[in-house]
Amino acid sequence: MDFKSEERQNLLSRLLDAVKQCQIRFGGKRELATDMDPRICCLCQQLEAVLQHGLRQPEASNTPFRQMRDAIAQNFSINLSGAPPEPPVFWHYVRLHLTRHEYERYLLLVNIHSDAGRGRAWLRSALNESSLERYLHALIGDREGMARFYEPWAVLADPEKNAMLPNIAAGLSSVLFAISIDRQELNGAARPRPRPPDLSAAPPSREPEAVVKAQSVGED
């Protein structure tokens, strides 16, 4: 197994483990899975790592999507000029598969001001809205777009590996996600290869207040 193959396998293995931990903790329960729990944070980071893997440098050409972004920014009086170019982030590819309304939604988030942040916000909202599986089918089905944005050795460009991604997302359908999508912290630099947290040493996650109250009422 060459280095790139091993890297792809390791990324998928860590993602599968993160999904399994979330299923064990939240699957089939009415309890909300929020980013207060380290398992949810780890899941988001592993998904980011897979989507970030093997991205090409963004094209400098004046693409239709850049034109659309500039038009929307001008319409809403958002100043995007003078911003330094960002490193490649998966938002550059994801945005090709959004409707205009969806695109505007992430452009107008109050606390998100970078493409890295918009990608993370999209990922979290896709989990919240149980639409990640549908988006992944679109992402891996766009062969022409994938060739433009990803290297041939990327996870998303590997037919054997990328075919697993929609099924992995489908495995999260029993989890009720309620992850914050408009937070300053999401603007940070892209994190290509995160490590899962040591859950054995982590304190037990605090259940959402609504769940605790519901349990108290049931006991009464």
Q: What is the pLDDT of residues 19-76, one digit of tens each?
A: 999 999 999 999 999 999 999 999 999 999 999 999 998 664 445 555 565 566 556 5
Residues sharing a CB contact under 8 Å with residue 48, sequence separation 6 or more, in sequence order = 90, 119, 120, 123, 190, 191, 194
CB of 60 closer than 8 Å to CB of 67: no
What is the pLDDT, as a whole number, of residue 202?
Answer: 45
What is the pLDDT, as a whole number, of residue 75?
Answer: 62
CATH superfamily of 3-219: RUN domain (1.20.58.900)
Query: What are the extents of the domains in the chain?
Result: 3-219
pTM over 0.85: no
